Protein backbone atom coordinates (compact mmCIF):
# COMPACT_ATOMS: atom_id res chain seq x y z
CA UNK A 1 0.00 0.00 0.00
CA UNK A 2 1.50 3.38 -0.97
CA UNK A 3 1.31 6.47 1.19
CA UNK A 4 1.83 4.56 4.43
CA UNK A 5 3.92 6.52 6.91
CA UNK A 6 6.82 4.80 8.66
CA UNK A 7 6.47 4.18 12.39
CA UNK A 8 8.64 6.55 14.41
CA UNK A 9 9.38 4.98 17.77
CA UNK A 10 12.57 6.73 18.90
CA UNK A 11 14.26 10.13 18.90
CA UNK A 12 17.67 8.45 18.94
CA UNK A 13 20.11 10.25 16.62
CA UNK A 14 17.43 12.57 15.24
CA UNK A 15 17.35 16.01 16.84
CA UNK A 16 15.20 17.41 14.03
CA UNK A 17 12.89 19.26 16.42
CA UNK A 18 15.96 20.89 18.03
CA UNK A 19 17.40 22.22 14.78
CA UNK A 20 15.29 25.39 14.65
CA UNK A 21 14.63 26.46 18.26
CA UNK A 22 18.01 28.18 18.92
CA UNK A 23 17.74 27.95 22.72
CA UNK A 24 15.86 25.49 24.92
CA UNK A 25 12.23 26.65 24.85
CA UNK A 26 11.74 27.55 28.50
CA UNK A 27 8.77 29.79 29.24
CA UNK A 28 10.20 32.50 31.41
CA UNK A 29 10.64 36.18 32.02
CA UNK A 30 14.05 37.07 33.39
CA UNK A 31 14.06 38.38 36.98
CA UNK A 32 10.59 36.87 37.53
CA UNK A 33 9.06 33.46 38.17
CA UNK A 34 9.18 31.09 35.22
CA UNK A 35 8.60 27.50 34.27
CA UNK A 36 9.60 24.95 36.92
CA UNK A 37 12.50 23.66 34.82
CA UNK A 38 13.85 27.20 34.44
CA UNK A 39 13.65 27.62 38.21
CA UNK A 40 15.39 24.27 38.68
CA UNK A 41 18.22 25.50 36.47
CA UNK A 42 18.48 28.64 38.57
CA UNK A 43 19.33 26.55 41.64
CA UNK A 44 20.77 23.30 40.30
CA UNK A 45 22.72 24.51 37.25
CA UNK A 46 23.20 28.29 37.31
CA UNK A 47 26.03 27.81 34.78
CA UNK A 48 23.56 26.51 32.16
CA UNK A 49 21.06 29.26 32.90
CA UNK A 50 23.81 31.87 32.46
CA UNK A 51 24.91 30.14 29.23
CA UNK A 52 21.39 30.56 27.80
CA UNK A 53 21.13 34.19 28.91
CA UNK A 54 24.58 35.02 27.48
CA UNK A 55 23.77 33.31 24.15
CA UNK A 56 20.49 35.23 23.84
CA UNK A 57 22.17 38.56 24.61
CA UNK A 58 24.98 37.86 22.12
CA UNK A 59 22.45 37.00 19.39
CA UNK A 60 20.49 40.18 20.04
CA UNK A 61 23.63 42.32 19.96
CA UNK A 62 24.69 40.68 16.68
CA UNK A 63 21.21 41.19 15.22
CA UNK A 64 20.74 37.47 14.73
CA UNK A 65 17.29 35.85 14.90
CA UNK A 66 16.14 34.09 18.05
CA UNK A 67 14.69 31.20 16.04
CA UNK A 68 15.79 29.12 13.09
CA UNK A 69 19.18 27.80 14.16
CA UNK A 70 20.04 24.68 16.19
CA UNK A 71 19.33 24.67 19.91
CA UNK A 72 22.26 25.71 22.03
CA UNK A 73 22.04 22.35 23.83
CA UNK A 74 21.92 20.14 20.69
CA UNK A 75 25.01 17.99 20.18
CA UNK A 76 25.41 17.99 16.39
CA UNK A 77 27.60 14.90 16.46
CA UNK A 78 25.09 12.67 18.26
CA UNK A 79 21.80 14.46 17.46
CA UNK A 80 21.00 14.38 21.19
CA UNK A 81 20.39 16.98 23.85
CA UNK A 82 23.49 17.67 25.95
CA UNK A 83 21.27 18.31 28.99
CA UNK A 84 18.36 15.95 28.34
CA UNK A 85 17.45 15.52 32.01
CA UNK A 86 17.01 19.31 32.32
CA UNK A 87 15.06 19.89 29.10
CA UNK A 88 12.01 22.16 29.34
CA UNK A 89 8.40 21.03 29.33
CA UNK A 90 7.95 21.83 25.63
CA UNK A 91 10.68 19.32 24.77
CA UNK A 92 9.37 16.71 27.21
CA UNK A 93 5.89 16.86 25.74
CA UNK A 94 6.80 17.06 22.03
CA UNK A 95 4.82 14.16 20.54
CA UNK A 96 7.11 11.54 19.03
CA UNK A 97 5.82 10.60 15.58
CA UNK A 98 3.19 13.36 15.60
CA UNK A 99 2.54 15.92 12.88
CA UNK A 100 5.16 18.36 14.19
CA UNK A 101 7.73 15.59 14.64
CA UNK A 102 7.23 14.37 11.06
CA UNK A 103 7.36 17.93 9.73
CA UNK A 104 10.61 18.64 11.61
CA UNK A 105 12.12 15.41 10.27
CA UNK A 106 11.00 16.25 6.73
CA UNK A 107 12.56 19.74 6.92
CA UNK A 108 15.78 18.30 8.36
CA UNK A 109 15.95 15.60 5.67
CA UNK A 110 15.63 12.77 8.18
CA UNK A 111 13.66 9.82 6.78
Other Cβ atoms within 10 Å of 23 Cβ, number: 19
Residue-wise pLDDT for 18-75, tens only, equals 988 888 887 655 555 556 777 888 888 999 989 999 998 998 999 988 778 889 999 9
Q: Confidence class of residue 89 from pLDDT cuts 50, 70 and 90?
A: confident
CA–CA gap between residue 74 and residue 61 (Å, rounded)? 22
Domain ranges of the chain: 16-108
Tell if the pTM clears 0.85, that is, is over it.
no
Q: Is the dihedral of CA 98, 20, 57, 83 positive or negative?
A: positive
Amino acid sequence: MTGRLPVIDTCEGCGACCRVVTTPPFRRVFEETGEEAWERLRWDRPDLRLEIIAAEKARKLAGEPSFGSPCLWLDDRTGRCRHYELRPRACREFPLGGVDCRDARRRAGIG
